[in-house]
Structure 1
Amino acid sequence: MPEDMVATTPKPGTAPAAAPGPRAYVQEAAGLVLLLALAVGCFVILRPFLAAILWAVILTFSTWPIYRFLVKRLGGREGPAAVVMTLLVALVLLLPLVILGSRLAEGVVGLAEGIRSLLQQGPPPPPRWIADLPFLGPDLTRAWEEMAHDGAGLAESLRPYVGPARDWALAQGAALAGGIFETAVSVLTAFFLYVHGTAVVRMADAVFRRVAGDRSRRLMEIAGSTIKGVVHGVLGTALVQAVLATAGFWVAQVPGAFLLGFLSFFLSLFPGGLLLAWIPAAAWLFAEGQREWGIFIIIWNLLVVGTIDNFLKPYVISRGGSLPILMILFGVMGGIIAFGFIGIFLGPTLLAIGYSLIQEWGKDEDAPVPGGR
């Protein structure tokens, strides 16, 4: 007798199991609806903090070896080690952003005063180096002098742009304040991840096993190695850019070259952030009459410092995983477009997991069939 028939044949003296009725299906459907509603509610509540939570996970994962070292040095006490580690992360990430925000606020106030003075009194006489510019020097000098003599006309021509410029400055200030708040939430979340990191990893492993089965451990390893590669690529590229920017400031004899280089390390982590470091330096050089060095700073930062990350970052990230460099480049660029700055980490990680799944499924298809057929 076939096994399936034996398995389904009821034992003597027992009634066959009754098929689930409509009421059971309704209860099961209601349970699924409630579970879906709960998931949606949790997502809506956590949505404003998702980026901060992802940042906290990345920070905790990338600095976990340092945390375990602190735990050993403190006699196995995880609480004090988590406090020390959180303070270190806040010192490295949060403090520079706060300093940068205060400096930018002072700069915006000074810029507003300068614009108000420009509208009321007109521009100062043109500097001498403008007249020495080839081809355009005399024309620029003549136009500058005309504007200086016609302060009312200049004020009237610039007035339509004052409102949009003010709105843009306020928007940038709000974005910076939001970034500082998000970083503060990430640092606070990282503290709890340090304390409960082992339990969180066990829970994540159990969830992934239910979803991905035997492939879960492999996928987690791929995600971990990709995140490490991205962290090393982002921080390593930022360090190289900061060193190159510092060298340029030092050669051009810009005051505070090493401080500007230190700020360049953090500013390079944000798209277009390096502009906040080298544009004021170039403007100072032009104002001091050192136009050659000002042009050097512009060319050096545009062609060298600002472009090296397009090649160095994908290469370093690809060394940390099995994803090709082209896919890394697509992952970084597409991730930034889709998710913002956090997409630098999400894009390559998602592509690496998808690439690994495609490779494994391809191997399964090519596997020999038992019996040689």
Structure 2
Amino acid sequence: MAESPHIPDQETILERAAVDGSKFRTAFVVLLVAVVSGLFLALAWPLLRPLMIGAILSGLCTPMFNWFVRLFRGRRGLASIATLLVLFIIIAGPISAMLGLAVQQAVTVSDRALPWLQDRFGSATSFDANRWIVDHFPFAEDFAPSQKEIVNSVSNAIRGVGTYLVSSASSFTAGTAGFLLEFFIMIYAMFFFLKDGRQILAKIFYYMPLAHDDEERILERFISISRATIKGTLLIGLLQGTLGGLGFFFAGIGGSAFWGVIMVILSVIPGVGAGLVWVPAVIYLYVAGQALPATLLLIWCATVVSTIDNVLRPRLVGQDAQMHDLMIFIGTLGGLFLFGPIGFVIGPVVCGLFLLAWEIYGAAFKDILPPVGELRPSPRPDRHASPEKSEDKSGTSRPKGRRKS
């Protein structure tokens, strides 16, 4: 006799409906949060750079903000305004003076380029660049440019660089619409980051399913990398630019302050930044027939200017940021390409958070991740031993390596 099918009672049906309803609500809430968050990120993406700069500077200015809070007896809004004013004075003053001197010397360099080149390379007794090219590259004799064409091309290039730098600096100091907008967004965001930073961080961490220790590690790593990158890069840049500019001055190169500023800017590139300025200068002195100044400048820049980067950057940036030099290099260059000039700070911060995220992942799944043994190099085959023959699936014989004992 066949058994009758089991019919669930009303209570079971209600329990299943409640479970299905709960799953539906959970899925709907997750989908709603994802869609709305995606729309918000699309709205905020054009403002990402000034917001990140504001967040980084706010984290670095927190000690000064706390001092103003105590000074103004807990008035956080007034303390935030005072912090922004001090930061503006500290940043705007030196940068304006440095850019003003650099622009002035850039105009001088660009205006004197053609007369200097014609004086050095235009006379019959001067260095003949065309003859040098033909002597060293005979195959280029038919299409090698003349001495006059070389002088004019180099002069126009130098003049173009000077004009571009002057126009860029003028646009920066006068303020384009885009720069002013980003600057206003950064200042406006910093005011609230300083004033309400604790509440903002508490709300963000509340929605992150991480342990409190991991949340503190994220915040600590963010601030430490930002501080180390800015402190180390600025100090290294100022030292390299100052010492490099002094070397240019004593070597008789015009516009030493201008080239020093360029060296400060390029020093954000680890390892090779300052060399992009002093190496062409040394070559230029050798070509101009000034062997002694060129040799002295080469020794000075190679042993002092470049050594500053190699010695101080690992200590000022690498140790405080707790990152390998390669990661700092990748973060700096990638940040410059992706975020522009301020990327030298944002890039290493992103790399540091990337490494920290994988550390948290490894700690969370350490029980299921397999252990990694010591990696040993594969043994070299013995050339004197006769290889054994074995048959593969196709029936052809092939040498068989020795088995591990």
Decide: shared fold, TM above 0.5. yes
Q: Provide the C-alpha distance between the structure 2 equivalents of 1:309 and 1:84, rounded to a whole number of angstroms.
A: 35
Q: Provide the C-alpha distance between the structure 2 equivalents of 1:265 and 1:91, rounded to a whole number of angstroms.
A: 24
1:305, CA displacement in angstroms?
1.4
- Greater gyration radius: 2
Once the two structures are superposed, what CA deviation does each residue of 1:103-152 show, in whole Å capped at 9, x if it has no partner? 4444454455445768xxx9236799x98xxxxx8767x99xxxxxxxxx
1:67, CA displacement in angstroms?
2.8
Residue number among 89, 93, 104 corresponding to 1:95 in the alignment: 93
Question: Structure 1's 338 and 27: CA in aligned 2 closer, same or farther, altered over 3 A?
Answer: closer
1:240, CA displacement in angstroms?
4.0
Most deviating of 341-350 and 245-254: 245-254
Most deviating of 60-69 and 333-342: 333-342
Alignment of 1:1-373 (within 5 A): 10=11, 17=18, 35=36, 38-39=39-40, 41-43=42-44, 47=46, 49-111=47-109, 113-114=111-112, 123-124=118-119, 168-169=161-162, 171-173=164-166, 175-176=168-169, 181=175, 185-186=182-183, 189-190=186-187, 192-194=189-191, 196-214=193-211, 215-241=214-240, 244-245=243-244, 248=247, 267=265, 270-271=268-269, 292-293=292-293, 295-302=295-302, 304-306=304-306, 308-367=308-367
Once the two structures are superposed, what CA deviation does each residue of 1:345-370 show, in whole Å capped at 9, x if it has no partner? 233323322323333333344449xx
Structure 2 partner of 1:371: none
1:233, CA displacement in angstroms?
2.1
Q: Provide the C-alpha distance between the structure 1 equivalents of 2:255 and 2:68, rounded to a whole number of angstroms.
A: 34
Q: Provide the C-alpha distance between the structure 2 equivalents of 1:26 and 1:246, rounded to a whole number of angstroms.
A: 63
Contact 2:336 2:342 in 1 (8 A): yes
Once the two structures are superposed, what CA deviation does each residue of 1:19-39 show, in whole Å capped at 9, x if it has no partner? 66xx99999799568626632
Once the two structures are superposed, what CA deviation does each residue of 1:205-248 show, in whole Å capped at 9, x if it has no partner? 42244245323333222222222222332233235435644774
Q: Provide the C-alpha distance between the structure 2 equivalents of 1:222 and 1:188, rounded to a whole number of angstroms.
A: 25
Question: Structure 1's 347 and 116: CA in aligned 2 closer, same or farther, altered over 3 A?
Answer: closer
For residue 91 of structure 1, what is the amino acid of its counterpart? Answer: I
Contact 2:118 2:151 in 1 (8 A): no
For residue 292 of structure 1, what is the amino acid of its counterpart? Answer: L
Question: Structure 1's 296 and 188: CA in aligned 2 closer, same or farther, altered over 3 A?
Answer: farther
Question: Structure 1's 109 and 332: CA in aligned 2 closer, same or farther, altered over 3 A?
Answer: closer
Once the two structures are superposed, what CA deviation does each residue of 1:162-209 show, in whole Å capped at 9, x if it has no partner? 776666555544554565558764487346524542423422342244
Contact 2:318 2:328 in 1 (8 A): yes
Q: Provide the C-alpha distance between the structure 1 equivalents of 2:226 and 2:30, rounded to a whole number of angstroms.
A: 38
1:73, CA displacement in angstroms?
3.4
Gaps of at least 5 residues in structure 1 are 1-7, 132-136, 144-152, 369-373
Q: Provide the C-alpha distance between the structure 2 equivalents of 1:359 and 1:29, rounded to a whole number of angstroms.
A: 27
Contact 2:50 2:185 in 1 (8 A): no
Contact 1:249 1:297 in 2 (8 A): yes
Please, what is the CA RMSD of the aligned residues?
5.4
For residue 118 of structure 2, what is the amino acid of its counterpart? Answer: P
Once the two structures are superposed, what CA deviation does each residue of 1:291-325 show, in whole Å capped at 9, x if it has no partner? 73464335423553145324522332232244344
State the percentage of identical aligned residues.
19
Give secondary structure in 2 for the equivalent of 1:323. coil
Q: Provide the C-alpha distance between the structure 2 equivalents of 1:229 and 1:124, rounded to a whole number of angstroms.
A: 47
For residue 344 of structure 2, what is the amino acid of its counterpart? Answer: I
For residue 65 of structure 1, what is the amino acid of its counterpart? Answer: P
Give TM-score scaled by structure 2 length.
0.59
For residue 43 of structure 2, what is the amino acid of its counterpart? Answer: C
Contact 1:233 1:316 in 2 (8 A): yes
Contact 1:331 1:347 in 2 (8 A): yes
1:42, CA displacement in angstroms?
1.0
Paired positions, count: 337
1:268, CA displacement in angstroms?
5.9
Once the two structures are superposed, what CA deviation does each residue of 1:32-62 show, in whole Å capped at 9, x if it has no partner? 686266325413xx52x43333223222222
Question: Structure 1's 42 and 158: CA in aligned 2 closer, same or farther, altered over 3 A?
Answer: same
Gaps of at least 5 residues in structure 2 are 1-8, 133-145, 369-405
Give secondary structure in 1 for the equivalent of 2:118. coil
Q: Provide the C-alpha distance between the structure 1 equivalents of 2:63 and 2:332, rounded to a whole number of angstroms.
A: 25
1:275, CA displacement in angstroms?
8.2
